Chain A
Amino acid sequence: MKISGSYELALPPARAYTILQDPAILARCMPGCDHLNRIGETEDGHVAYEMKMKMAISSVQGLFAGTVKLADPNEPSSFRLIVEGSGKIGFMKGEGVLTFVESGAGTDVRYEGEVNVGGVIAGVGQRLLDVTAKHIIKKFFGKVVGAAGEME
């Protein structure tokens, strides 16, 4: 499934860029995120985190364990996000690019990527995947501003 959109963050691009790479912020803001631990850099130079996250879609819910990788850093204008996780209700793989464009006093964060799911969540949740993903993203960005404020 292709996924794309944008969100206006009331933060300057440099700040938005940093915030969205901060594991503490990510862990707090990702809906259902249980924990996010830095596990170091991968061979290809990506910053990698181990992640546990609760997912609920359609009639199924479960825990996903996996990794989050940050790649192709191009501060402060873009980086690549690679997420892989699996659990009892299936698996997900997502990869996307976030770009940060100055917009007035804030930043227009644009994301574009592809998400694939498998197993039960694919079988029963496909029709809701699109809206669920949008909902999760919206919730995430909504929390980011607050979390960033607290950290000031």
Chain B
Amino acid sequence: MSTTISVTEKLVGKSVRRREDPRLITGTATYVDDLKLPGMHHACILRSPHAAAKIRSIDISAAQSHPGVVAVFTGPDVAGVGPVPCGASLPGLRVPHHAILATGRVYYVGHAVAVVVATDRYVAADALDLIEVDYEPTAAVADPEKALEPGAPAVHPEWPDNVSFTYHQEGGEPEKAFAEAEVVVKQRITSQRLVPMPMETRGCVAEYHAAEKSLTLWSSTQIPHLLRTLVGQMLGLIENRVRVITPEVGGGFGCKLNVYAEEALTSFVAMKIGKPVKWIESRRENFLCTIHGRGHVDYYEIAAKRDGTVLGLRLKLIQDLGAYQQLLTPAIPTLSVLMMPGLYKFRNISADIVGVFTNCVPTDAYRGAGRPEATHGVERMMDLLAVELKMDPAEIRLKNFIGNDEFPYATATGLSYDSGDYAAPLKKALDLVNYRELREDQRKAREQGRLMGIGISTYGELCAFGPSPATPAGGWESATVKIDPSGKVTVLTGASPHGQGEETTFAQIAADELGVPIDDVIVLHGDTAIVQYGIGTFGSRGTAVGGAALYFALKDLRAKIKKFGEMMLESDDVTFSGGVCTCNKTGNTVSLAQIAGMSYRAMRLPVNEEPGMQATRFWEPPNFAFPFGAHIAVTEIDRETGHVAVSRYVAVDDCGNIINPLLVAGQVHGGVAQGLGQSLWEQAVYDDTGQLITGELMDYAVPKATMMPWIETAHTTTPSPVNPLGVKGVGEAGTIGCSPAVVNSVVDALSPPGVRHIDMPMTPEKVWKVLEGARA
């Protein structure tokens, strides 16, 4: 028996550098477009230039006879393929049949009409130009409010009112609250359409093995297992003969939390021609046919007493759905309703959603998915109320926060907030900016005629999705831990990380629990042939749910390791720590490698133990987790140009326990960048005829590094009782906290000239016009 003791430093809580980065920054990572299979062909897709049109005829003959073209398919050819699935259900929901190629009609610009397969991508693209489509354009509608007007063009002729669903939710006694209110403030607030814009566009490669009737589909997705199940169904394939592999994924932000027509279409084509087929989305296609986010027009009313106590909140929410329901499209605005109360004691809530079809690409989950819209709404309303009552925006928030002694807190929307100390991050943020001094600076700035603003947002977030009954596809997550005979550890996670860094954080957790060096641990994910069924990465769930599953698998293994240790040390007083089992009486030890080796050699086994060293757990979370925080943005506006400069940005986030501060900071930075993008620059604009006129990066202003302020991050720590790691999730916090802080700040800056509200994006042009309007 060895007596070597290896002591490993605890890694959870440390800023371990991302183990993913070497391959990413040296350009050696493999993305879908890096795949080259023998005999691989290339698909390009012809897309509709019209927002609404009947297809009179399609002539593919010239394309078919173009040298290098192997096949051309149109709508009728794919009639046997099942529709693109909508996984969300609501009472009375209208779900249009979403064929993978348009048949008879097109419903939005970018709608797939035909696919060309050729030996070369450029040949396929050239051949697209040879297809003649005879369209009969019809009237289109792109604005959700206009789509609701009587006589508006019908997106789907069978539903002339353009309404996909209505949804009402109520808690408490909203009528009474508004009747008794001393003050009611109303405002129309929009959250514009956004393009999620991952650096890597979508793409897939499909290879069909006819002899085995098996399909391998490489796709840039957030949900490999769900994709396997759903694409298999669309194509009529047997599930265990479909393998989905997600190579490196260059960002998802929700837009790859979906099942797309192209994934089934590429597979269909590969099956038809008997060759592997690659389809890579161009950037222009990404604008036109990957889901957009947001698309809200919200009418808010807040009821309060004159002392600032909030009583009730009412919302009429118009959700622009686009032309189809994608995987979660109709569910997204229901998340907004759930999070309407924010961090405040709103006991009376009333919300009405109307989901509206438009001749636009469908909306769906984009970083935050429903919660940024809700937070933006409630945080704007709190500021509007503060202005109305001439109260300080920090003061009105502190007055209405749910108290520390009220957790778990049942909201009027039916949620149970897990834990919180909502005043703590706000107080910390106020301290960090020296709030009193800052207001004094503002007073002086105003005396000099400068437009300086201070904006506060205190957000709450519904994440760690989630209990299975409350999610469309199951909300659990899975983990397998395998220890090889040599003692090396392999973690298989059903979450499919794509930039969140779980190859690092999960290795930290496993290394700590098993007491092994982090280099002894590898984390595998994103291959349905290797990894047990999993749900995927979205809704800030990777660590809070997937990490918890991992924790329990590790716990099982620790128990098994200890039993082997007891057997090998011939003692019932054994401790497993630091990667060794130690007999507490003799001090003798056996290493994990020795134990693992014994478990496979199996010359002897502990009573009731099987050989091998592997454990799998599927963990069902009992609740969501609810992170929270406070963001403060200080802005200064150039009167002459309308340019908004963010001079200071402080983010204090409480995401529960932190596994890796470096990665948490990265998530906050990325989230704030996207939040600033929405606040100040980004907007997907369709013109009245349904043409997307922001169709490239020259027109759609994604923030560049030089446009970002310095982001000061800090934390408070309120562990979540929902999972054993005490984590809450942080992937979306930055996006959720950001936009109300920035808009509140700009409105604060513009308040001396009398501006009360401004909608996003607050481009220089818009701010300048608002200023001109206020002057007039």
Contact = CB atoms under 8 A, between A and B. Distances in A.
Given A123-B284, A123-B288, A118 B109 contact: yes
B284 A122 contact: no
A103 interface: no
Contacts of B51: 118
B287 interface: yes
B50 interface: yes
B699 A118 contact: no
B693 interface: yes
Interface stretch (B37-45, B186-194, B615-623, B684-692): B684-692
A119 interface: yes
Interface in A54-73: 58-59
Given A88-B129, A90-B49, A127-B699, A120 B284 contact: yes
Given A88-B129, A90-B49, A91-B49, A122 B699 contact: no
B261 to A, nearest CB: 19
Contacts of A88: 128-129
Given A116-B689, A118-B691, A123 B50 contact: no
A53 interface: no
B603 interface: no
B698 interface: yes
Given A88-B129, A123-B696, A118 B284 contact: no
B695 interface: yes
Interface of A: 58-59, 86, 88, 90-91, 116-120, 122-124, 126-127
Given A91-B49, A118-B50, A123 B692 contact: yes
Nearest to A127: B699
A37 to B, nearest CB: 20
Contacts, number: 54
Contacts of B287: 123
B684 to A, nearest CB: 11
10 contacts: A88-B129, A117-B691, A122-B692, A123-B691, A123-B696, A124-B284, A124-B695, A124-B699, A127-B698, A127-B699
Contacts of B50: 91, 118-119
Nearest to B50: A118
Contacts of A86: 49
Nearest to B288: A123
Interface string B503-542: 0000000000000000000000000000000000000000
Contacts of B696: 59, 123-124
Contacts of A59: 696
Contacts of B692: 122-123
Contacts of A126: 687, 691, 693-695, 699
Contact of B49 (A58, A119, A124): A119
Contact of B689 (A58, A118, A123, A124): A118
Given A59-B696, A123-B691, 14 more contacts: A58-B698, A90-B49, A91-B49, A116-B689, A117-B691, A118-B51, A118-B109, A118-B689, A122-B691, A123-B692, A123-B693, A126-B687, A126-B694, A127-B698
Contact of B698 (A91, A118, A122, A124): A124
Interface of B: 49-51, 109, 128-129, 284, 287-288, 687, 689, 691-696, 698-699
A123 B698 contact: no
A118 B359 CA distance: 13
A138 to B, nearest CB: 24
A124 B284 CA distance: 9
A75 to B, nearest CB: 33
B111 to A, nearest CB: 12
Contacts of A124: 284, 695-696, 698-699
A119 B699 contact: no
A67 to B, nearest CB: 15
A10 B423 CA distance: 76
A82 B109 CA distance: 24
A88 B699 CA distance: 21
Contacts of A117: 691
Nearest to A128: B698
A120 B692 CA distance: 9
Contacts of A116: 689
A116 B244 CA distance: 43
Contacts of B693: 122-123, 126-127
A128 to B, nearest CB: 9
Interface centre among B49, B129, B287 (most CB of A within 10 A): B49
B147 to A, nearest CB: 19
B178 to A, nearest CB: 43
Contacts of B284: 120, 123-124
Nearest to A93: B137
List of 3 A-B pairs having minimum Cβ-Cβ separation, nearest first: A123-B695, A119-B49, A122-B691
A130 to B, nearest CB: 12
Nearest to B695: A123
A126 B694 CA distance: 8
Contact of B109 (A58, A119, A127): A119
A127 to B, nearest CB: 6
A118 B695 contact: no
Nearest to B688: A116
A92 to B, nearest CB: 10
B142 to A, nearest CB: 12
B768 to A, nearest CB: 18
Contacts of B694: 123, 126
A148 to B, nearest CB: 36
A116 B698 CA distance: 20
A50 B284 CA distance: 31
Contacts of A58: 698
A117 to B, nearest CB: 7
A116 B689 CA distance: 8
A122 B687 contact: yes
Nearest to B686: A122
A120 B129 CA distance: 13
A47 to B, nearest CB: 24
Contacts of B698: 58, 124, 127
A131 to B, nearest CB: 14
A86 B50 CA distance: 11
A151 to B, nearest CB: 37
A86 B133 CA distance: 11
A120 B49 contact: yes
Interface centre among B128, B689, B693 (most CB of A within 10 A): B693
Contacts of A120: 49, 284, 695
A147 B50 CA distance: 37
Contacts of B689: 116, 118
Contacts of B695: 120, 122-124, 126
Nearest to A123: B695
